[in-house]
Amino acid sequence: MAEQQTPTVKLPDPVELSKAMTQIAERSNKLLAEFLERQKHEPEATSVDPLNIGGAFLELTTRMMSDPAKLAAAQIQLWQDYMRLWEATTRRMMGETAPPVAVPEKGDRRFKDPSWDENQLFDFIKQSYLLSARWLQNQVRSVEGLDDKTAQKVDFYTRQFVDAMAPSNFVMTNPEVLKATLESGGENLVKGLEHMLDDLERGKGRLAIKMTDDKAFRIGENIAVSPGKVVYQNELMQLIQYSPTTEKVHRRPLLIIPPWINKFYILDLREKNSFVRWAVSQGLTVFMISWVNPDEKLREKSFEDYMLQGPFAAMDAIEKATGERELNIVGYCLGGTLLASTLAYLHARKPSDPGPDLDRIVSVTLLTALTDFAEAGELCVFIDEEQLRGLEEMMKAKGYLEGSAMANTFNMLRANDLIWSFVVNNYLLGKEPFPFDLLYWNSDSTRMPAVMHSFYLRRMYQENRLVEPGGISLLGVPIDLRAIKTPLFMLSTREDHIAPWKATYALTQLVSGPVRFVLAASGHIAGVVNPPDAQKYSHWTNPKTPPTPDDWLAGATEVPGSWWPEWYKWLARKAAAKVPARVPGEGGLPAIEDAPGSYVRVKSTD
């Protein structure tokens, strides 16, 4: 066993400690007073159980108690596992070697400190937690008779509870925190309390955990820096045309439609990982929609408005800017859902209906985009009638959904990585968060207009109408995804917790045109933002699209590295021959301002 080093114990300076605690008390009192004052003006909660958890767990408990023999057997199994752990720990304390009874899953960073393995006490605490956590989750998952929605909900919130109770989240059961506390004389905890107060102040009474050093990044200076010009704008979006880096470019431009749940610059973080910069370097004339961060004045904006003032307006502007009638389009996440809906509309529209001619769109690329929401992952936990009514009440009062509400939902899907790791780092260890471009973007949340968001959640997530022929009408035109004949390139990611890849694959069986489906390693963001130079995540290809995603994967070939070159090889044939490069602002549309524009700079807290 490795030799244990006794940490140096530092006694705190009583004067400095007293001063710090006085300041903390004053700030705490001020925060409490401001919170109570805000509560007077906040709309009353429509439910004492806004997440609609109580009923689900009541049903779970009823089902569990209906089979006491099964529950007793499970308890006996847990007791036997604990006896094995006691035996293994005793042997270790006597100097023997004993294999662990429970080990963390690969990639679990909560127990990365060596003391979790080297110190018998902390090893026992760790394994006790893992045994109890897995036992509890297994019992919840093994209960029979629950409907799918209820089972998914209790499983999700059981995991939230289990993650919250991890010994790494508490001072006295985290060896790294204990060591820091002894060595600093408790300064880490005082600093952590100050960080918590900062987060409460920034969140106006709600805990807005700081994930990165937000002062380390400045939009347009060291993030979202690809050169270009805003050449068009309306009340919902600005259209950016990026400056070429090659003497010649493909004749047909490329339009990118990002999601408006987050800001566009996930595709233009920094030079080393910018999809925009890479696409421009391939000789593509790239246009990017930068959506507005809506306020109460845009509360009535609908999904149809996003189509009219998004892709429709952008296509007309691109034709004026370049003189090119035809183009290729990329849609990412919700931007891809909008793009698929738009394509179905254009296939169904009559010449007298609003919108451009269908033949102007030569190809469509969908990045991690859902169209069939039957198996839409754990986000469905937040979509039921009670929760939707609560959301609609909140949006009715303000005209939009707060960006922080969306951010908190997404963070809960990966609570250990996006919540509890920062609780430990910021509050228990008292450290400043590390500057990280991806987390800066993740924290730069956006609001959702009330009318649009209610339509999206109800008609797509809750009712899954988009996959029904005529289930959704846009501008009075019933749409059908089955009518789509435009060539598609679909990119999904294997560990996607927002758009599960098997759910996205369903579109391959609906559309009538050719489909190229590619699966990337990693998740919703890292799997997409994977530059070739990084030589990081692999991807899988299969020229066929069999009926099921499992059949597709069984016949797929794993290819090392980024999917970007695979996509460009597919797109180049549709981008047409090369022509002299186009300079933004020198075509049919004058420049309005430099990229990345002003819309992207609007914060949800502004």
Which of the residues are catalytic?
A: 333
Q: What is the DSSP string of 194-210?
A: HHHHHHHHHTTTS----
Q: With the C-alpha atoms ordered 110, 415, 266, 472, is the resulting torsion angle positive or negative?
A: positive
Distance, in Å, from the CA atom of 268 to the CA atom of 280, rounded to the nearest integer, reads 11
Residues sharing a CB contact under 8 Å with residue 376, sequence separation 6 or more, in sequence order: 370, 461, 499, 500, 503
CB 293 within 8 A of CB 599: yes
Count of C-beta atoms within a 10 Å radius of residue 10: 13
CA 301-304-308 angle, to 5 degrees, is 95
Please name which of 399, 448, 472 lies closest in space to residue 259, comparing C-alpha atoms.
448
3-state helix, strand, coil in the chain (%, to 5): 50, 10, 40
| Residue-wise burial string across 152-175, b where 16 or more C-beta atoms lie within 10 A, e elsewhere | bbbbbbbbeebbeebbbbebebbb
Q: Is 297 helix (H, G, I), strand (E, B) or coil?
A: helix
Q: Round to whole Å and give the CA distance between 94 and 88.
A: 10
Dist. CA 220–CA 521, nearest whole Å: 30
- DSSP assignment letter at 219: B
Q: Are 532 and 566 in contact (CB under 8 A)?
A: no
Q: Do residues 103 and 129 make contact, with C-beta atoms less than 8 angstroms apart?
A: no
Residue 295 host element (H or E): none
Q: Pick from 604, 41, 403, 201: which is nearest to 395 by CA?
A: 403
Q: What is d(CA 213, CA 231) in angstroms, rounded to the nearest whole number?
A: 32
Please state, in angstroms and rounded to a whole number, the distance separating the CA atoms of residues 319 and 299.
Answer: 30
